[in-house]
Amino acid sequence: MNNLTSLSGKKILVAVTGSIAAVKSPILVSRLIKAGVKVKCVITQSASKLVSPLSLSTLSRNKCYQDKDQWDESQTKPLHIALAEWAELIIVAPMSATSLCKFTSGNADGLLASILLASKSQIVIAAAMNTSMWENQSVKRNWNYVKNIDQVISLEPSEGFLACDRFGDGKMIGLDIIELASESAFIFNAENKFLTKDLKNIRFLVTAGPTVEDLDAARQLTNRSSGRMGVLIAQAAKLRGAEVDLVHGPLSVKEDLLEGINTYPVRSSSEMSSKIDDLQPYAQVIVMAAAVSDFKKNSPSEQKVSKESFLQSICDDLEMTPDLITNQTRKKLENQIFLGFAAETGSDNEIIEKGENKRVLKGCELLMANPIDRDGQGFDQNFNSGFLLGPKKMVKNLSFSTKLSISHQLLDEIRNLKSKIY
């Protein structure tokens, strides 16, 4: 499960509509409750045939509301207004074609439809339906409409094996992405803003994770990077409307966290360099978050080298790998912005000084210098901090926070810099 401490204490209304993906909704509710979220549920009549309202009530520790409850005589305020005002965030997962149509047309027929129209909070919508339904022109029209509503974070379905025995688009996106979208909504809500598509029409190229260099048939050189920071930057950019290509080494994150973005798995630094060369001409923003191995063996042995001769063997032709960031900034196009990363140790002033020297040397517009010698942050952690360095001696302190929050702060600076330069 993602680290959802930032959602603890938040009030979220989970709405379930009539798609077979509704069977996943109780798992989402359970995960939110375990993260300390205050959850209430509402279910449509068709969804109640797929998921028991009792199960949602039990998991949420609150009554699960249905259409029949909308005009209960015991209510002192219309229920749809009360729930809309209570919820700081609404998650519709899954969103069926019928409920989507009601929402986009302003149809208030039913409890959920009325809540969505009355709500002033951000709404996360995760569509799910049969492939043919998803590809229908009417559904596409409704989806394209809802994508342009600032209040809505729209999560398109992914490709997968569906309940109709068909493989195609229509599978509800993974719960990890729904949770990321929810956490992102609250990151922006802290400033009384909606998470909007401010990066629309911008293509990002992001690198993430470690690279691996073979020494012999049994041994290899690598590092402790999990790839989480780069993956979260990629997903945060995707949520904000960007088209994202992710080139990554072997990752230590859930596969579900890669949904919705174009992924290109590689292993070695040379493979990563080659794939970046292929994709760089199409990107306006390049984020080099991968932790590339510093050394490689020019001619790794196809056999396992004996322990006794191993040290001499690796020293024979061990060499430094090329600096990928420097190599790529030399090929920079006029409209491109580079964000580099530098993992450092030492005092704040030392980290800033070393980071600025690297930013200039590597030719990056922006560089995040982050300490890796402090508890609870850095490699393979959910949290990070550091200093974002930029033109004209810019130094921005990125205080200790979740890596997702750091990702959005970095994207804010990229957006601001891009608007100033171009």
Fold matches, 5-189 and 203-421 = yes
Spans of all domains in the chain: 5-189, 203-421
Residue 2 pLDDT > 50, yes or no? no
Length of the chain (residues) = 422
Q: How confident is the model at residue 421 (pLDDT cuts 50, 70, 90)?
A: low
Q: Which amino acid is residue 265, in one-letter code?
A: P
Q: Which of 41, 64, 164, 364 is catalytic?
A: 164
For residue 252, how many other CB atoms are within 10 A of its CB?
Answer: 13
Is the full-model pTM beyond 0.75?
yes
- The yes/no answer on whether domain 203-421 falls in CATH 3.90.1150.10 is no
> pLDDT tens for residues 339-391?
999 988 899 999 999 999 999 999 999 999 998 888 878 777 788 999 999 99
> pLDDT tens for residues 301-335?
777 777 777 777 777 777 888 899 999 999 999 88
Mean pLDDT of the chain: 91
For residue 19, how many other CB atoms are within 10 A of its CB?
Answer: 30
The whole-angstrom separation of Cα 278 and Cα 328 is 11
Using CA atoms in the order 250, 5, 200, 203, what is the torsion angle rounded to 10 degrees?
-20
164 as an active site residue: the answer is: yes
Report the percent of the chain where pLDDT is more than 90.
Answer: 75
DSSP 123: E
Report the percent of the chain where pLDDT is more than 70.
Answer: 97
Q: Are strands 167-171 and 213-214 parallel, antiparallel or unpaired?
A: unpaired
* CATH no., domain 5-189: 3.40.50.1950
